[in-house]
Amino acid sequence: MTSILRLRARPRAKTRGGEANVARILDAALTLFARYGLRGVTVDEVAEIAGMSKPNLLYYFRTKDALYTAVLERMLTLWLEPLIALDKDANPSDALRTYIESKLQFSRSNPEGSRLFAMEMLQGAPHLKKVLRTTLASTVAATSATIEAWIARGKLRPIAPLHLIFAMWAATQHYADFAPQIEAICGRGIQDDDFFEEARREISDLFLSGVMIRPER
Amino acid sequence: MTSILRLRARPRAKTRGGEANVARILDAALTLFARYGLRGVTVDEVAEIAGMSKPNLLYYFRTKDALYTAVLERMLTLWLEPLIALDKDANPSDALRTYIESKLQFSRSNPEGSRLFAMEMLQGAPHLKKVLRTTLASTVAATSATIEAWIARGKLRPIAPLHLIFAMWAATQHYADFAPQIEAICGRGIQDDDFFEEARREISDLFLSGVMIRPER
DNA sequence: AGTAGATTTGATCAGATGGTCAATGCCGGC
DNA sequence: GCCGGCATTGACCATCTGATCAAATCTACT
């Protein structure tokens, strides 16, 4: 099976137990890579958190780089999903609300995934450049076209679609990527049910008010 | 001299040349730490980019940690500056526009600084927790109060100030922190004059439309 | 019980890493 | 021109790190 990132040497698991180990390794690796990046994590650390010896981990993933790539790849689909879902046939206000909400939901249900990609960006996105220029760029092109069509039909205020898209991404990712800052200031974060609900409402309303001709709140 | 972060052992420079070296070290360290974080950077690398030997670097900064702290500290003032400047006596639309613009300007003039703090957040902000809970939290409290006062006087739509603040931070930081993503999609970034001007206008307009009662564009 | 194949690990290696130290180079003031 | 303190570095050290390997252990199936 080919992958979006590159041809990948599959991990070496051949039994149930082996697959469970691979899953534990990937979980541990996600946690650590999202925090410290590829270079800031040691194989020993990952192995310890995954509850096995270093050689055992390296039995499943030949190199640290292969492990990193596997982690990135496993998150990629989930990460791209909410970026794709701008429904051009729905009315703008519903579509945008859904778009924002699903991105915010990703920040909540997969904060480490969100941070992993933020980490990649900070490092210059060496493993993602290609995906960004192909898959993501065309996704964005489609979303931009949808937004521009709405503007042309007078359903949205004139706005540069790219900046709107970036602003929505940024505002929603922020709750995962800058969680310590938010918790230091608010005393709680996106994991808190009430806080999530509040963020969902406020961010959606803010952007809708920002772009809709007839403010819908 | 005490510092916000902690009592700091000053670098050991005692001559002009020494101070120039310290400056080169701090520059090199900022670049690398912003990209790879504390753990992902080696002293050797910093020394090489700063153009000197490792022992020589360690003559000025006793440990890697001391160097990291110095870098963080040097950026802290600059980083906090645009977060403080919400002028409660100006009219909301001017004040917010200025707030957004100065944050965006920071992303442009100091992208590595922006990324350094993003990196700290991803790592759980171990070196910043205290500042976040004290200096930043009270700054935010003041800004929130200003926004609430405007809402109370009917000058702004009702909105939860914290989420508005976070959204403005996020949208403006995004241009520095996610630069590779933006460049992969747009083919240019915040360093480009036209693109910066475009971002400035679009983001300001978006937020102002989002919060002002009478849309000002 | 026996076997093939999957899994696990202790021991080990070469190179990297943070940090130290003694020795040397350098420069301005006398 | 020489002296004292700042600056610089090669050599070194203990430890860490990514990776390898042969040997040992486990597991499902016969």
Question: Which residues neighbour B20 within 8 Å (Cβ) at sequence distance 6 or greater?
Answer: none
Alpha-carbon distance A189 to A85, whole Å? Answer: 25
Please tell me the predicted confidence (pLDDT) of residue B217.
Answer: 42
**Cβ within 8 Å of residue B122, ≥6 positions away:** A34, A35, A115, A118, A119, A122, A177, B37
The span from the CA of A37 to the CA of A68, in Å, is: 9
Of B162, B180, B205, Cβ closest to residue A132:
B180
Give the per-residue pLDDT at A215.
47
Nucleotide nearest to B56 (CA to C1'): D8
Tokens of A139: 């996704």
Bases of strand D lying below 7 A from some protein CB: 5-11, 16-22, 27-28
Q: Do B36 and A35 touch (CB under 8 A)?
A: no
What pLDDT band is residue A87 in, cutting at 50, 70 and 90? confident
Interface probe with B: pick from A80, A205, A208, A209, most Cβ of B within 10 Å: A209
Distance CA B161, CA B169 (A): 12
| Amino acid A41 CA to nucleotide C20 C1' distance, rounded Å | 26
- What pLDDT is stored for residue A192 in this prediction? 97
**pLDDT (0 to 100) of residue B1:** 40
Each residue's pLDDT, cut to its tens digit, for chain B (217 residues) gives 445 555 455 676 766 667 889 999 999 999 999 999 999 999 999 999 999 999 999 999 999 999 999 999 999 999 999 998 788 888 999 999 999 999 999 999 999 999 999 999 999 999 999 999 999 999 999 999 999 999 999 999 999 999 999 999 999 999 999 999 999 999 999 999 999 999 999 999 999 999 998 644 4
CA dist., res. B114 & res. B56, Å (int): 28
User: Shortest CA distance to B58 belongs to which of B71, B47, B68?
Assistant: B47
Which residue on chain B is closest to A178 by alpha carbon? B121
Q: How far apart are CA A102 and CA A117, in angstroms?
A: 17
> Given A162, A164, A185, which is nearest B140 (Cβ)?
A185
- B57-CA/D8-C1' distance, Å: 10
- Which amino acid, one-letter code, is at B129? K
pLDDT at A67: 97
Instruction: Give residue B19's pLDDT.
Output: 80
pLDDT on residue B85: 73
CB atoms near residue A8 (< 10 Å): 14
Nearest Cα residue to B209 out of A86, A158, A148, A162? A158
CB < 8 Å to B34, chain A? 122
Q: For chain A, what is the mean pLDDT?
A: 92
Q: What percent of chain A has a predicted confidence (pLDDT) above 90?
A: 85
In this prediction, residue A7 has a pLDDT band, given cuts at 50, 70 and 90, of: very low
Smallest Cβ–Cβ distance between A122 and the set B163, B177, B205 belongs to B177
Contact A68, A42 (CB under 8 A): no
Task: Tell me the C-alpha distance between B130 and A184, whole Å.
Answer: 9
Cβ proximity of A65 and A172 under 8 Å:
no
Q: How many CB atoms lie within 10 A of CB B2?
A: 7
Alpha-carbon Rg for chain B in angstroms: 20
Q: How far is CA A211 from CA A159, B165, B174, in A?
A: 8, 18, 20
A181–B174 C-beta distance less than 8 A: no
Please tell me the predicted confidence (pLDDT) of residue B4: 52
- Which residues, other chains included, contact A104 with Cβ-Cβ below 8 Å and sequence gap of 6+? A172, A175, A190, A196, A199, A200, A203
